[in-house]
């Protein structure tokens, strides 16, 4: 067979001049990061700004109701919940037409649990046979704590990566990696804002995973980069970077593909709960691959690295020692 | 690598066998599993509440309310004590976590302070003569009585423990299984109950304070005065749910409380109409007091108060000796039964509030399991086909064997540790396995690089493992950091996700490096190849 295994057909070594385009892409990235920051922060409404805040961080109650096999009469459900004194009640379809989400805030100072009971009674009266398949209630104290923990987690993760890369490589590498991380995290926030995917603990978990994978990619490229820096001490920095990225190209493509295949399966078959999580990670892992090439490496270029001495002598090849 | 160390082979075989043994129970039907010999592991994966359905409830114990209640009781003691010693006072009130009062006669201030220091509050354990309250004098003959903060903290902490005890008793009486209230932090209680199909019922059972008191209705109070906000001293206004009056003015004294009940059972009213009621029986002290009260107050009303609401306020028809009686009210058979359970289990020492609730119906959980399984199968099969397409039968196949061992180890480890598998956890598992092949890719690509650089086949293979290992290690360390941070963030489903990622990091490094190495070495010995099929 001529086209299989594919690894024999793929180009053995690519020769893209990544560094030459880095200026263009850096500008694009900076614009995208600023844009993402703006749409995820504007209108600066605490706690989530421009993101679609989930109850994890905003507090409140979400009921998932099902009237299967009948479709949910959303208008009727909405009308039945007026005048409960709990402000704005959102009722929206969720997945199948027989399912819907009802979301509301508890009255300040009131008993959250009692409000849930009241809402359930009203819905049962107006919709007839309705099942409450899921109830999520988060009080104001807890939502504040979760929000704090979420932000702390993201901050700690980025800090841990900086320190680790610094420890294993050099400070410049660490800064490049962290620049790439901020890039990925901010762009992901932008995606969450545009798609109106709910920003909750799951989203934070997805972002933390992205941080892990983006770093994974960066580390693999850096590893080769460091090795080549030692090998070719006279080669201009840009060329070493290009060479390293090209050498890792096959691996980058294969690994990204397996991750994308798995996440696509999750997004398509995983149901509404996993959809947001998978979409965020799909985007983040793609962006992470890009940023390892166009953010992490150029930052190192800007900063420069310590090198010196001559090219290593080409190691004389030992005769094969097959026993 | 041709000098394949024996320990590596043994380790790989061992890990595979152990992984398989611990994964096995998940693949067998329950009947076969129960029939396994005793030495075989039987634990299956522990499914999270989002997969099997159930409720997670987080309550906070209201220590402020607890303190106010204790202070209110103490204020009544102070009222009685000062009255008995004929010390006149005004402005006795609970405010901002302390009791304030003003002694009318300046000459009696010292007497009052000494008296209260001796009698109010409880002795402090371990401190001779110490008490858990302080009595301080202020300008204008005013006194302030407050708890010693440490003493109150200890008391609040005890109340949280007692609350847990009461909750357990209450739920035990309903026969629910797999139910475990756990204390979290200073003043929180977490309750997880699997498979409970009516969380609202459970919440009403758990969350009610169920503090029962009998208090005399003050029929001398002038309703007009009370409406104007002038409540007679020693009285309080309590709202009513008896459907007769909107509220009652009752004495603050609580001669009979729920603790004096020894039994409570639901029943039916034999004389009047056959409505539901709760029959109770009291201990000796309660019975004595109940007999006294009913003898002294024939023709008057007493209020039966549950959680600051009057359930009924019957007129005393005559003395009731023996400490038995009925609580009538607007009961349904269910609510009469619930109140009996609550009264038998006792009141919560401190009131609680729901801070967080996550309930998933069993039906939705089953859907989630289905969705998780489908996406896992599709995702992994896609990954496998992809690897075979890229690297062919041999090298692709080796990475798939490593993947299979990895999966066995993850599922085995999850079953062994009984770590909770959540829906996001399944996502984490799929992602981990899909990206685990990265380690194989790194090794294979390194081998190809080395071959191209002109090294011999065997040297390339050696270098493939040696040099790729550093990269694999560094790359996986990054996952450990993000997963560990995620884990410490808390919340159930996310924790499950982090845990699978974390276990996956270790099994991935093991299987990708060792399993791949052993398999390649075997192939090399058997085939004595001249070149790599992927070069």
pLDDT tens profile B362-392: 888 888 899 999 999 999 999 999 999 999 9
Q: Which of A112, A204, A274 sits opposite B427 (nearest CB)?
A: A274
- Record the tokens describing residue B366, joined without a space: 């089953």
Question: What pLDDT is attached to residue B92?
Answer: 87
Look at B488 and A153 and tell me if their CB atoms are within 8 Å: yes
Question: What pLDDT is attached to residue A321?
Answer: 42
Q: How far apart, in Å, are the Cα atoms of A254 and each of A247, A264, A320, B175, B383?
A: 13, 15, 31, 54, 10
Look at B456 and A134 and tell me if their CB atoms are within 8 Å: no
Backbone angles phi, psi at A57, to 5 degrees: -105, -20
Across the range B331-338, mean pLDDT stands at: 86
Q: What residues of chain A, 185 to 244, have a C-beta less than 8 Å from chain B?
A: 201-202, 204-205, 208-209, 211-213, 215-216, 219-220, 223-224, 227
Report the relative pairing of strands B46-47 and B420-421 from DSSP bridges: parallel
Look at A157 and B60 and tell me if their CB atoms are within 8 Å: no
Q: What is the DSSP letter of B529?
A: -
Q: Which of A134, A274, A317 sits opposite B454 (nearest CB)?
A: A317
* A126 interface with B at CB cutoff 8 Å: no
3-state secondary structure of A113: helix
Look at B441 and A255 and tell me if their CB atoms are within 8 Å: yes
pLDDT tens profile B2-28: 567 888 889 999 999 999 999 988 888
Residue B531 has pLDDT above 70, yes or no: yes
Q: What residues of chain A, 79 to 108, have a C-beta less than 8 Å from chain B?
A: none
Residue A60 and residue A79: Cα distance in Å, rounded? 20
Q: Which residues of B touch A265 (CB under 8 A)?
A: 375-376, 378-379, 382, 430
Q: Which residues of A3-130 form beta strands (DSSP E)?
A: 60-66, 90-94, 96-104
Residue B530 and residue B524: Cα distance in Å, rounded? 10
Look at A265 and B353 and tell me if their CB atoms are within 8 Å: no
Q: How far is A157 from chain B (nearest CA, A)?
A: 6
- Record the tokens describing residue A23, joined without a space: 């200026």
Across the range B457-477, mean pLDDT stands at: 86
A and B: number of Cβ contacts within 8 A: 248
Q: Which residues of B touch A5 (CB under 8 A)?
A: 388-392, 395-396, 533-534
Determine whether B162 is exposed, middle or buried from the number of CB atoms within 10 Å of its CB (0-12, 13-18, 19+): middle
Residue A319 and residue A190: Cα distance in Å, rounded? 56
Q: Which residues contact B420 (CB under 8 A, 6 or more apart)?
A: B46, B47, B48, B492, B495, B496, B499
Question: What pLDDT is attached to residue B342?
Answer: 87
Higher pLDDT among residues B253 and B183, named by residue: B183
3-state secondary structure of B222: coil
Q: Which of B448, B456, B494 sits opposite A205 (nearest CB)?
A: B494
Residue B128 has pLDDT above 70, yes or no: no
Q: In chain B, what are the domains?
A: 6-51+363-527 (1.20.1640.10), 63-148 (3.30.1240), 208-351 (3.30.1360.200)
Q: Which residues of A touch B65 (CB under 8 A)?
A: none
- Record the tokens describing residue A74, joined without a space: 């959303």
Q: Which residues contact A135 (CB under 8 A, 6 or more apart)?
A: A61, A62, A63, A64, A116, B199, B357, B358, B359
Is residue A252 within 8 A of residue A214, CB to CB? The reply is no
Higher pLDDT among residues B61 and A308, named by residue: B61
Residue B259 and residue A278: Cα distance in Å, rounded? 54
> Left, alpha or beta for B129 (phi > 0: left; psi -120 to 50: alpha)?
left
Tell me which chain A residue has its CA closest to the CA of residue B54: A134
Length of chain B: 535
Report the relative pairing of strands B324-331 and B352-360 from DSSP bridges: unpaired
Residue A244 and residue A297: Cα distance in Å, rounded? 10
Q: How far apart, in Å, are the Cα atoms of B54 and each of A129, B179, B415?
A: 21, 10, 20
Residue B341 belongs to what H/E stretch? helix B333-345
Q: Which of A1-10, A221-230, B113-122 has the lowest mean pLDDT?
A: A1-10
Question: What pLDDT is attached to residue B406?
Answer: 93
Q: How far is B440 from chain A (nearest CA, A)?
A: 10
* A26 interface with B at CB cutoff 8 Å: no
Grade residue A317 by pLDDT with cuts at 50, 70 and 90.
very low
Grade residue A5 by pLDDT with cuts at 50, 70 and 90.
confident
Query: Which among A271, A258, A139 is positioned nearest to A202, based on CA atoms?
Result: A271
Query: What percent of chain B clears pLDDT 70, i.e. is strictly above it?
Result: 96
Residue A95 has pLDDT above 50, yes or no: yes
Residue B177 has pLDDT above 80, yes or no: no
Length of chain A: 323
Residue B1 and residue B516: Cα distance in Å, rounded? 11
Grade residue A320 by pLDDT with cuts at 50, 70 and 90.
very low
Per-residue buried b or exposed e for B498-512, using 16+ beta carbons within 10 Å of the residue's own CB: bbbbbbbbebbbbbb
Residue B431 and residue B439: Cα distance in Å, rounded? 14
- Record the tokens describing residue B348, joined without a space: 């919560």
pLDDT tens profile B71-125: 988 888 888 888 888 889 888 888 888 999 999 988 888 888 888 888 887 777 7
Residue B410 and residue B504: Cα distance in Å, rounded? 6
**What would the DSSP string read from start to end of A62-89?**
EEEEE-TTSPP-HHHHHHHTTTSSS-PP
Residue A280 has pLDDT above 90, yes or no: yes
- Record the tokens describing residue B207, joined without a space: 């969350």
Average pLDDT, chain B: 86
Tell me which chain A residue has its CA closest to the CA of residue B492: A201
- Record the tokens describing residue A284, joined without a space: 């983040």
Residue A257 and residue B255: Cα distance in Å, rounded? 75
Is residue B495 within 8 A of residue B454, CB to CB? The reply is no
Query: To 5 degrees, how large is the angle CA B336–CA B341–CA B343?
Result: 95
Backbone angles phi, psi at A60, to 5 degrees: 125, -170
Handedness of CA B249, B252, B258, B262 (dihedral sign): negative
What does the H/E/C string look like for A182-235?
A: HHHHHHHHHHHHHHCCCECHHHHHHHHHHHHHHHHHHHHHHHHHHHHHHHCCCC
Which of A147, A164, A273, A314 is best to mutate for the B interface (most B CBs within 10 A)?
A: A273
Residue B78 belongs to what H/E stretch? helix B63-84
pTM of the model: 0.82
Residue A314 has pLDDT above 50, yes or no: no
3-state secondary structure of B274: coil
Q: Which residues of B touch A137 (CB under 8 A)?
A: 354, 356-358
* A112 interface with B at CB cutoff 8 Å: yes
Q: How far is B237 from chain A (nearest CA, A)?
A: 21
pLDDT tens profile A41-56: 888 887 888 898 888 8
Q: Which residues of B touch A250 (CB under 8 A)?
A: 441, 445
* A263 interface with B at CB cutoff 8 Å: yes
Q: Which of B50, B430, B483 sits opposite A262 (nearest CB)?
A: B430
Q: Which of B2, B383, B458 sits opposite A262 (nearest CB)?
A: B383
Residue B255: HSE in the Cβ half-sphere, 13 Å Cα cutoff: 17
- Record the tokens describing residue B438, joined without a space: 């990265």
Residue A212 and residue A214: Cα distance in Å, rounded? 6
Residue with tokens 């996406």: B375
What does the H/E/C string look like for B118-180?
A: HHCCCECCCCCCCECEEEEEECCCEEEEEECHHHHHHHHHHHHHHHHHHHHHHHHHHCCCCEE
Is residue B365 within 8 A of residue B53, CB to CB? The reply is yes
3-state secondary structure of A117: helix
Question: What pLDDT is attached to residue A322?
Answer: 38
Q: In chain A, what are the domains?
A: 14-45+143-303 (1.20.1640.10), 60-138 (3.30.70.3400)
Look at A262 and B379 and tell me if their CB atoms are within 8 Å: yes
Q: Which of A117, A205, A323 sits opposite B486 (nearest CB)?
A: A205
Across the range B494-516, mean pLDDT stands at: 86
Other C-beta atoms closer than 10 Å to the C-beta of A14 total 14
* A14 interface with B at CB cutoff 8 Å: no
Its ipTM equals 0.86
Is residue A197 within 8 A of residue A276, CB to CB? The reply is yes
Residue B345 has pLDDT above 50, yes or no: yes
Look at B423 and A273 and tell me if their CB atoms are within 8 Å: yes
* A278 interface with B at CB cutoff 8 Å: yes
Tell me which chain B residue has its CA closest to the CA of residue A212: B479
Residue A313 has pLDDT above 50, yes or no: no
Which of A1, A6, A7 is best to mutate for the B interface (most B CBs within 10 A)?
A: A7
Grade residue B160 by pLDDT with cuts at 50, 70 and 90.
very high
Q: How far is B38 from chain A (nearest CA, A)?
A: 37
Grade residue A112 by pLDDT with cuts at 50, 70 and 90.
confident
Query: Which among A216, A220, A189 is positioned nearest to A283, based on CA atoms?
Result: A189
Residue with tokens 């064997």: B401
Query: To 5 degrees, how large is the angle CA B421–CA B15–CA A262?
Result: 45
pLDDT tens profile B428-444: 888 888 888 888 999 99
Contacts 24+ apart (CB under 8 A), B268-271: B269/B326, B269/B328
Is residue B77 within 8 A of residue B114, CB to CB? The reply is no
Q: How far apart, in Å, are the Cα atoms of B230 and each of A284, B100, B223, B224?
A: 66, 19, 9, 9
Look at B458 and A321 and tell me if their CB atoms are within 8 Å: yes
């Amino acid at each position: 067979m001529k086209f299989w295994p594919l690894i024999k057909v793929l180009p053995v070594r690519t020769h893209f001049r990544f560094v030459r385009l880095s200026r263009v892409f850096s500008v694009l990235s900076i614009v995208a990061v600023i844009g993402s920051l703006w749409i995820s922060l504007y209108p600066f409404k605490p706690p989530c700004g421009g993101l679609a805040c989930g109850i994890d961080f905003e507090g409140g109650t979400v009921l998932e109701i099902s009237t299967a096999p009948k479709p949910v009469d959303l208008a009727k459900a909405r009308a039945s919940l007026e005048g409960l004194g709990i402000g704005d009640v959102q009722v929206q379809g969720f997945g199948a037409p027989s399912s819907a989400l009802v979301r509301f805030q508890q009255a300040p100072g009131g008993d959250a649990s009692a409000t849930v009971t009241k809402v359930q009674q009203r819905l049962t009266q107006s919709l007839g046979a309705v099942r409450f398949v899921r109830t999520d209630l988060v009080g104001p104290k807890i939502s504040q704590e979760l929000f704090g923990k979420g932000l702390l987690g993201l901050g700690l993760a980025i800090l841990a990566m900086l320190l680790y890369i610094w420890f294993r490589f050099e400070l410049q590498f660490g800064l490049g990696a962290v620049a790439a991380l901020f890039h990925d995290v901010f762009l992901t926030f932008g995606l969450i804002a545009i798609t109106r995917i709910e920003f909750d603990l799951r989203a934070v978990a997805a972002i933390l995973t992205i941080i892990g994978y983006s770093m994974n990619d960066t580390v693999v490229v850096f590893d080769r980069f460091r090795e080549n820096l030692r090998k070719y001490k006279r080669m201009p920095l840009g060329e070493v970077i290009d060479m390293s990225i090209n050498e890792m190209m096959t691996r980058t493509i294969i690994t990204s593909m397996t991750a994308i295949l798995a996440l696509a399966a999750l997004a398509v078959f995983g149901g509404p709960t996993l959809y947001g999580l998978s979409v965020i990670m799909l985007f983040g892992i793609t962006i992470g691959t890009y940023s390892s090439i166009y953010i992490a490496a150029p930052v190192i270029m800007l900063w420069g690295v310590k090198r010196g001495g001559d090219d290593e002598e080409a190691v004389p090849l030992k005769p094969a020692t097959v026993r | 690598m041709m000098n394949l160390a024996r320990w590596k082979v043994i380790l790989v075989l061992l890990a595979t066998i152990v992984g398989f043994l611990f994964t096995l129970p998940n693949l067998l039907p329950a009947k076969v599993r129960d029939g396994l010999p005793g030495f075989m592991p039987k634990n299956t994966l522990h499914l999270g509440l989002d997969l099997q359905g159930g409720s997670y409830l987080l309550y906070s114990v209201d220590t402020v309310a607890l303190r106010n209640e204790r202070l209110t009781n103490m204020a009544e003691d102070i009222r009685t004590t000062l009255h008995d010693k004929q010390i006149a006072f005004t402005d006795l009130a609970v405010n901002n976590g302390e009791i304030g009062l003003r002694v009318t006669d300046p000459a009696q201030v010292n007497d009052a302070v000494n008296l209260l220091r001796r009698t109010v509050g409880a002795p402090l354990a371990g401190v001779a003569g110490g008490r858990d309250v302080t009595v301080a004098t202020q300008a204008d003959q005013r006194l302030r009585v407050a708890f010693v903060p440490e003493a109150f903290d200890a008391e609040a902490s005890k109340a949280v423990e007692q609350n847990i005890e009461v909750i357990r008793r209450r739920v035990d009486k309903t026969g629910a299984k797999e139910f475990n209230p756990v204390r979290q932090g200073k003043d929180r209680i977490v309750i997880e109950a699997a498979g409970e199909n009516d969380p609202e019922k459970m919440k009403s059972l758990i969350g009610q304070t169920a503090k029962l008191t009998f208090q005399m209705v003050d029929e001398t109070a002038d309703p007009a005065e009370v409406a104007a906000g002038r409540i007679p001293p020693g009285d309080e206004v309590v709202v009513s749910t008896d459907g007769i009056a909107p509220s009652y003015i009752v004495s603050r004294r609580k001669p009979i409380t729920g603790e004096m009940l020894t039994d409570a059972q639901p029943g039916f009213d034999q004389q009047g109409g056959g409505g539901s009621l709760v029959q109770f029986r009291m201990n000796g002290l309660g019975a004595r007091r109940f007999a006294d009260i009913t003898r002294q107050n024939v023709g008057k009303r007493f209020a039966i108060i549950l959680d600051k609401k009057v359930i009924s306020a019957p007129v005393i028809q005559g003395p009731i000796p023996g400490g038995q009686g009925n609580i009538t009210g607007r009961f349904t058979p269910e609510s009469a039964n619930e109140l009996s359970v609550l009264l038998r289990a006792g009141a919560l020492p401190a009131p609680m509030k729901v801070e967080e609730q996550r309930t998933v119906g069993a039906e939705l959980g089953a859907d989630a399991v289905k969705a998780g399984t489908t996406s896992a199968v599709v995702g992994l099969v896609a990954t496998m086909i992809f690897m075979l397409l890229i690297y062919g039968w041999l090298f692709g196949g080796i990475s798939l064997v490593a993947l299979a061992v990895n999966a066995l180890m993850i599922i085995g480890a999850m079953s062994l540790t009984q770590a909770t598998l959540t829906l996001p956890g399944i996502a984490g598992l799929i992602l981990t396995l899909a990206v685990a092949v990265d380690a194989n890719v790194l090794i294979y690509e390194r081998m190809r690089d080395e071959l191209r650089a002109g090294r011999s086949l065997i040297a390339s293979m050696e270098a493939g493992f040696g040099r790729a290992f550093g990269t694999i290690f560094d790359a996986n360390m990054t996952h450990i950091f993000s997963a560990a941070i995620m884990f410490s963030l808390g919340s159930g489903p996310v924790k499950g996700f982090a845990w699978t990622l974390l276990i996956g990091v270790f099994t991935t490094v093991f299987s990708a490096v060792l399993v791949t190495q052993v398999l390649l070495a075997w192939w090399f010995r058997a085939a004595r190849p001249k070149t790599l099929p992927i070069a």
